[in-house]
Amino acid sequence: MKKIILVVMIAALATISHAQSNSVNILPTDDSATIIHKAAMVVPSTRQLRWQELEVVGFLHFTVNTFTNREWGLGNESEQIFNPTELDAKQWIRTCKAAGIKQVILTAKHHDGFCLWPSRYTEHSVKNSPWKGGKGDVVKEVSNACHQYGIGFGVYLSPWDRNSPYYGDSAKYNQYFMNQLTELLTNYGRVDEVWFDGANGEGPNGKKQVYNFEAWYNLIRKLQPTAVIASMGPDVRWVGTESGYGRETEWSVVPINNLNQNDIAANSQASVAFRPTGDMTGDDLGSRSKIMNAKGLAWYPAETDVSIRPGWFYHPSEDTAVKSPEKLLDIYYSSVGRNGVLLLNIPPNRKGLISKEDSLSLMQWKKMLDATFKTNLAKGANITTTNGTNTGSMMDGKINTAFTTKRGDTATIYFHLQQPSTFDVLWLQENITIGQRIENFVLEYKDGDEWKEATAGTTVGYKRLPRFNPVTAQEVRLRILAARLQPAIAEFGLYKQVKE
């Protein structure tokens, strides 16, 4: 009897507390309306919200591969080849910040096992390189620069290690990995993101390793509780390609079928309630049809990664293949503008500097973005609606204030612009602090007496930036055609693209 009462209490707690949690359990007795309600009330954790608001994160791929011209090192490279004679981490971070990047992730250790800090646990590190006479520490220089210039600092520690003799002896290697992770999380100040991939090849002994992800996650929560864990982690998921292009329909609330029910019941943001399993790379992750058969739902947003060059590490032959500002702009609209965070790789060269080709493209890209979004053509519009409140909050620049309906899950909002204007970009944001809800929307403009469609879409989430053929109009309307509970529109804008 006590066991039955306990189960009922846990289920009740999960139902009550899910509105303030980034995960929720789906009960076998939940009907479709209850599941939709639960999905609408799942919200990001504090660390996930901070991460989402970054919008663009930089990736800095740098190791012995930079000097061997490889993408994946073999693990047997001599430490003597690592000698970036002009390394300037401040130049890296100044360049990233000038490009609008608000956080960077450094490859502290890639698959080759070479450590960019003087780890106590291996000789395969900068301490045995000629760079700075073996007294250098790339991790320290980058972390110090990030903290000096006020941008976030993150580390990538490859689970696969082609150098370590422990790799393949699961218990020994997992302890080795934990030791190195502890060094990174305790010696360099605040760490804002820890990035893992699922690489799991053979080690030098020909064996594969069984990773203890749960222990790693718990260590990060203990030592750096504000850090997000991506992309093989419980906070952030990989979007599924390395193209920089996200889905047209991107739900941050997705089915997770291995949630720890006790953690949900306790509403514990500190604990790790699940680890990623199953395919999270399909075209449809969070639609109604997907969540109906879920055992649990979690806020699990997408990180969209791409390199500014064809490769992830610097190669001299790719100096002429750096992505153009126009290409970066298209990627921005298709990542940040599709409810994702863009993870843009900018690999330092053999001197230890961001190359001029990369920097020039980044600066022109940022110039075009700033010019496009300088003026919201809808600012000052007369806004009317028959079924909503807080219309003015849609242009106050605050993500946690929003227009919402008085009742129901649809809305029509009319904007009478101050003058006829030409625009070709729509800016929409939801107040995701109370959930992601919009399922279908359309923007229309008035041409004479006729309403015509400018653009339409499905999900919004943190940010949606649809582009369309230029329209000149003074009367526009936004129609929310479907939502999970009352929609909450935090920001609305109309812009004209500047392409040069």
Q: HSE-up of 137 (CA within 13 Å, CB side)?
A: 14
Alpha helix positions (H), 300-424: 325-333, 356-372
* Position 12 pLDDT exceeds 50: no
The rounded percent of the chain whose pLDDT value lies above 70 is 92
Report d(CA 343, CA 243) in Å as an integer.
Answer: 11
Lowest mean pLDDT among 10-14, 99-103, 277-281, 403-407: 10-14
Tell me the average pLDDT across 312-331. 98
Quick one: pLDDT at residue 6? 32
Domains detected in the chain: 1-43+253-300 (no CATH), 47-236+313-372 (3.20.20.80), 382-495 (2.60.120.260)
Mean pLDDT, rounded, of the chain = 92
Among 413, 419, 411, residue whose Cα is nearest residue 391: 413
Tell me the average pLDDT across 155-181. 95
Quick one: pLDDT at residue 148? 98
* Position 17 pLDDT exceeds 60: no
Cβ-Cβ contacts under 8 Å for 469 (sequence gap 6 or more): 424
| Torsions phi, psi for 230 (to 5 deg) | -140, 170
Report d(CA 229, CA 469) in Å as an integer.
Answer: 39
Strands 103-109 and 56-60, sheet pairing: parallel
Among 412, 415, 422, 420, residue whose Cα is nearest residue 386: 412
CA-based angle 339:366:341, to the nearest 5? 20
> Which residues are registered as beta bridge partners of 430?
489
Report d(CA 159, CA 168) in Å as an integer.
Answer: 11
pLDDT band, very low/low/confident/very high, at 282 (cuts 50, 70, 90): confident
pLDDT band, very low/low/confident/very high, at 7 (cuts 50, 70, 90): very low
Quick one: pLDDT at residue 145? 98
pLDDT band, very low/low/confident/very high, at 381 (cuts 50, 70, 90): very high
* Position 262 pLDDT exceeds 60: no
Q: What does the pLDDT look like over 233-255, one tens digit per residue?
A: 899 999 988 999 999 999 999 99
Omega of the bond leading into 287 within 30 degrees of 0 (cis): no
Handedness of CA 168, 172, 174, 178 (dihedral sign): negative
Strands 193-196 and 152-157, sheet pairing: parallel
Q: What does the pLDDT look like over 412-466, one tens digit per residue?
A: 999 999 999 999 999 999 999 999 999 999 999 999 999 999 999 999 999 999 9
